[in-house]
Chains A and B, each alone.
Chain A
Amino acid sequence: MHRTGELYGQFQTLEQQKESATLGMWIFLATEILFFGGLFLTYSINRHTYADVFAFSSRTIKLSWGAINTVVLIGSSLTMAMSVWSAQVGKKKWVTFFLLCTLVLGGVFLGIKGIEYHAKYVEHHIPGLGLDMYYCTNNPEVCELSPADLAKEKAELAALEQKVGGPVAVNAHATLFFSLYFGMTGLHALHMIVGAGLLIYLTLESLKGRFTPAYNTPVENIGLYWHFVDIVWIYLFPLLYLIDRH
């Protein structure tokens, strides 16, 4: 089936047809807001209840990768918006170019996410794969801890044990933090992978010159999805990386 923007029988005008598509996309996004909202709610309550260990666990994530990824993802939103603009003004080659830029930036984001996950694997911070918050202080050479950082982390862990009632509780609370960390960033990454698939489809269609000022609804709507995924990250970044950094 080739949809080239002809008017379907149930609509009065092409504009009405396009607005219905946008409206439908936003209704889907409203369900996505609630989908991620449930996770943010769970995170908020647990972070409040187990604040001390959550703060300690949060600080073990590298801030620099998260900040770079924020820039990369917002950049990909810009290129996505530019590809919508290119379609609206009829610059067919630029549609393809900006779609490919978005795809590459999305790939860079997922690659950096992979580096971060690998660091968590090395540090034994993955629930179910032998999570142990004491692994780094016991094996400082594996986690590349400097003597100063090692002393600081040991002191922090000792203080945490006093507060929460022993090493078992520290690891239990940290398991909760990292389950939420991997659950939320994993679900976000899954949305990115779906988005990348959609971008590949758009690029192939765009190479055939299918998107014109008269018909660019798929670019516009997949763009909405891509920006939504960006917004989820805009909230994930401060909540997971930033708020316990000071």
Chain B
Amino acid sequence: MRVADHNEHSEHIVSPRLYLAIFFALMILTGSTVWAATIDLNEHFAGLNVIVALVIATCKATLVILFFMHAYYSSKRTKLIIICGFFWLAIMLFMTLGDYASRPWDIQ
């Protein structure tokens, strides 16, 4: 166990060049989400504007978590905790929204 702990986490230093690349990727994604919001995508598919906005936001959040927050270089244990955090969020969102969506609200 002691040996495994030691080998699992040798500190990784992310280079400023990668940080800058991530920053520019985030800027491009911010620009595209603002641009996508000016177009009426809902006429092609109901709710597409929301879906596109959330997909771009999730891409941005993933880049921040993986590289700015070093999750990509973290130990398996830390990765597990990160995934758990978002898994709990998914349980809360999908079970509640599923409940709302499946109720017959029009029955008095």
Query: A148 at the A/B interface (Cβ < 8 Å)?
Result: no
Q: How far is the CA of A166 from the CA of B97 in the complex (A)?
A: 28
Knowing A16-B6, A67-B30, the reply to whether A88 touches B11 (Cβ < 8 A) is yes
Contacting residues, chain A, for B65 (C-beta < 8 A): 227, 231
Cross-chain contact A78 with B78 (CB below 8 angstroms): no
Q: What are 15 A-to-B residue pairs whose CB atoms are below 8 Å?
A: A12-B5, A19-B75, A22-B74, A26-B85, A41-B96, A67-B30, A71-B27, A71-B30, A78-B23, A85-B16, A88-B11, A230-B64, A230-B68, A245-B37, A246-B41
Cross-chain contact B34 with A242 (CB below 8 angstroms): yes
Contacting residues, chain A, for B11 (C-beta < 8 A): 15, 18, 88
Contacting residues, chain A, for B40 (C-beta < 8 A): 246
Cross-chain contact B56 with A238 (CB below 8 angstroms): yes
Number of A-B residue pairs with CB-CB distance less than 8 Å in the complex they form? 143
Q: How far is the CA of A7 from the CA of B23 in the complex (A)?
A: 35
| In-complex Cβ contact of A234 among B38, B41, B57, B75 (8 A) | B57
A51 CB, nearest partner CB in chain B, Å: 10
B78 CB, nearest partner CB in chain A, Å: 5
Cross-chain contact A81 with B78 (CB below 8 angstroms): no
Within 8 A of B (CB), among A21-63: 22-23, 26-27, 29-30, 33-34, 37-38, 40-41, 44-45, 48, 63
Q: How far is the CA of A205 from the CA of B52 in the complex (A)?
A: 43
Interface flags for A1-27 (1: CB within 8 Å of B; 0: not) read 000000000001101101100110011
Contacting residues, chain B, for A246 (C-beta < 8 A): 37-42, 49
Number of interface residues of B (CB under 8 A): 56
Given A34-B89, A237-B57, 5 other A-B contacts at CB below 8 A? A27-B81, A29-B85, A37-B93, A41-B92, A78-B23
Within 8 A of A (CB), among B57-108: 57, 60-61, 64-65, 67-70, 74-75, 77-78, 81-82, 84-86, 88-89, 92-93, 96-97, 100
Size bracket, chain A contacts: 35 or more
Interface centre among A18, A30, A44, A234 (most CB of B within 10 A): A234
Cross-chain contact A85 with B53 (CB below 8 angstroms): no
Within 8 A of B (CB), among A131-151: none
